[in-house]
Amino acid sequence: MTTTSEMAGNRKVFNLLELSQHRSRHDCWLLIDGKVYDVTDFLKDHPGGDDVLLFATGKDATHEFEEVGHSSSAKAMLSEFYVGDIDSTKANDIAITATPKQTTEQIQDNNNSELLIKRFQFLAPLLILGLALGVLFYQD
Ligand code: HEM
């Protein structure tokens, strides 16, 4: 898979891997309706706040954008931030790049439950042995 941008005529075409590399407060791209917008400088000015934009980055934000019911002037503003299009032929990338990153807490949670299962796997035979010995002891 190539991560370099390609030019289609004068338009810049990005793949989803490239999109996913611009997901921070200092470098934030949005994908809306197949078009890529660099909203880094708009974060502080967005009337809906910067958090929603940062949350919508790295994936297809079309639904989120439409759901808010943005005014026509908001839609007209989009062109100010337009940087290119998304390469729709590489749709498979979506599965890889649009998966939300696990938070540290989620990873911690997963690790905790794995530890619990491992402990149980170790303790289960001991419990059975203990029960069997208990039964033998009371039979005498
Ligand atoms: C380049 C992309 C965007 C632009 C230019 C933009 C622009 C605006 C503007 C001008 C407003 C003021 C209300 C209006 O005129 O409709 C607004 C409000 C808002 N936007 Fe965006 N927006 C963008 C992306 C998004 C995205 C992706 C989300 C959600 C994930 C979002 C969520 C909101 C919310 C929650 C409000 C506040 C609505 C309210 O309280 O009335 N916006 N936006």
The answer to ipTM > 0.90 is yes
For residue 80, how many C-alpha atoms fall within 13 Å in the half-sphere facing its CB? 9
Q: What is the largest CA-CA distance in the chain?
A: 90
Each residue's pLDDT, cut to its tens digit, for the chain (140 residues) gives: 444 444 555 569 999 999 999 999 999 999 999 999 999 999 999 999 999 999 999 999 999 999 999 999 999 999 999 999 999 776 544 444 444 444 555 545 656 666 666 776 778 888 888 888 888 888 86
Residues 6+ apart with CB under 8 A from 68: 48
Residue from 70, 72, 79, 81 whose mutation best tests the ligand 1 pocket (most atoms within 8 A of CB): 70
Tell me the CATH architecture of domain 6-101. Answer: Roll (3.10)
What does each C-alpha distance from 29 to 20, 51, 83, 102, 135 come to in angstroms?
8, 13, 9, 20, 67
Question: What residue segments make up the domains of the chain, in order of their start?
Answer: 6-101, 102-140
> What residue ranges line ligand 1, CB within 6 angstroms?
30, 37, 39, 46-48, 52-53, 56, 61, 64-65, 68, 70-71, 73-74, 77-78, 81
In sequence order, the β-bridge partners of residue 12 are 7
